[in-house]
Amino acid sequence: MKLFLIAGEPSGDRLGAALMAGLQSLTPVEFAGIGGPLMQAEGLESLFPMEELSVMGIAEVLPKYFQLKRRIREAAEAALASGAEALVTIDSPDFSLRVAAIVKAARPDFRTIHYVAPSVWAWRPGRAAKMARVIDHVLALLPFEPPYMTAAGMTCDFVGHPVVAEPLASQAEMAPFAVQGPLLLALPGSRRGEVTRLAPVFGEVVGRLKARHPDLRVALPTVRGVADLVREVTATWPVVPQIIQDPGAKRGAFAAADVALAASGTVSLELAANACPMVIAYDMHPLTLWLMRRAALIDTVTLVNLVSETRVVPEFIGPDCRADRIAPALEAVLADPTAQQAAMALTMERLGQGGEAPGLRAARSVLQALRPGLPR
């Protein structure tokens, strides 16, 4: 079996790597496509650097439109020429589904699988029907998503969220952070646009916290594609953060932190897995924000709030993403760090904690979609 995989950002790279490992544990398989360092470690030779695809939002994409359009065509042509049995696209729908559309138009029998169901329960429900034109099967991360996909005409399995299978920190990994003073985990995103937009606000928040906590420490885990930018934009923060790229050090920081200030996204689930209380803050181009709010079907963007069916995690989005509002919320969490514990534990349970690893569940789902006669 040969599969053509596409991932466009670090979270997709992690999903893809776990899927690849799961598949290789079940059957002989070859891979081609686009991915990051984790997928490459599993044997993928990336067609071009995955970081070229890590852009988000209408206003952010426009300057790179022609470059992305060229990459979409290149990826589709490579998939069609690869001899692969199926195209597996992993998140990054603005890129991935355009590739799938070209592939399906050229070869309607080419099987297509998309990993990470679109959040049609949050906004633009019509996306499911549109996706069904080019996608045959979906791997869902959240337990309430499959009915939305099957109603649109695709098959879909809930495979669990990968956060439940990620290793937690050892005592040795936590030890470097076990020193005097509160530890703030700053997480301004993994895309360059996110980091550029959020870093000034996060820096001002750090200054406000330092005024009340002179021994404040800040750790900032980041990824390869934005590490240099992160160092540049945080160099003038009132507390210069410890920039972390090593996975073990990242685990240690997540486990040892007293509170986190994080961009909206799946990082809230990583924090929940480590029982780290959090405040969510996010901003984007005003046009992107206006369009998304007009289409929104939910009153929170934080996955811990959604999965646990609570609203215990404070969030500050768009015009509310201001240091004078965020800092008091962080102070409140520091004063009562247990307020979010029950919601975080429930979230992990509902995402599959304690069951079979999501990468392996995803691999079984892919094989079943391509070989319906195989036992699950």
Q: Verify that 330 and 258 share a domain, yes or no.
A: yes
Of 106-115, 122-131, 185-194, 281-290, the one with minimum mean pLDDT is 281-290
Is 68 among the domain residues?
A: yes
Q: What pLDDT, on a 0 to 100 scale, did the predictor assign at position 11?
A: 85
pLDDT at 88 over 80: yes
Is 165 among the domain residues?
A: no
Q: Verify that 151 and 175 share a domain, yes or no.
A: no
Q: Verify that 277 and 308 share a domain, yes or no.
A: yes
pLDDT, tens digit, for every residue of 131-150? 999 999 999 999 989 999 99
- pLDDT grade for 47, boundaries at 50, 70 and 90: very high
Q: Verify that 326 and 195 share a domain, yes or no.
A: yes
Is 200 among the domain residues?
A: yes
Number of domains the chain is built from: 2
Q: Verify that 14 and 155 share a domain, yes or no.
A: yes
Q: Verify that 340 and 247 share a domain, yes or no.
A: yes
- pLDDT grade for 56, boundaries at 50, 70 and 90: very low
H-helix or E-strand containing 175? Answer: none
Q: What pLDDT, on a 0 to 100 scale, did the predictor assign at position 63?
A: 61
Q: For residues 270 and 163, is the Cβ–Cβ distance under 8 A?
A: yes
pLDDT, tens digit, for every residue of 327-370? 999 999 999 999 999 999 999 999 999 899 999 999 999 999 99
Four-residue CA torsion sign, 186, 190, 192, 193 = negative
Is 376 among the domain residues?
A: no
Is 237 among the domain residues?
A: yes
Q: For residues 141 and 91, is the Cβ–Cβ distance under 8 A?
A: no
Q: Verify that 241 and 194 share a domain, yes or no.
A: yes
Q: Verify that 110 and 43 share a domain, yes or no.
A: yes
The whole-model pTM stands at: 0.78
Q: Verify that 202 and 342 share a domain, yes or no.
A: yes
Quick one: how far is CA 144 from the chain centroid? 18
Q: Verify that 235 and 331 share a domain, yes or no.
A: yes
CB atoms under 10 Å from CB of 219, counted, come to: 23
pLDDT at 122 over 80: no
Its domain, for residue 77, covers: 2-160+355-370
Average pLDDT taken over every residue of the chain: 92
Q: Verify that 238 and 207 share a domain, yes or no.
A: yes
The CATH code of the domain that includes 299 is 3.40.50.2000
Q: What pLDDT, on a 0 to 100 scale, did the predictor assign at position 58?
A: 43
Q: Verify that 151 and 133 share a domain, yes or no.
A: yes
Q: How far apart are CA 31 and CA 58, in angstroms?
A: 31
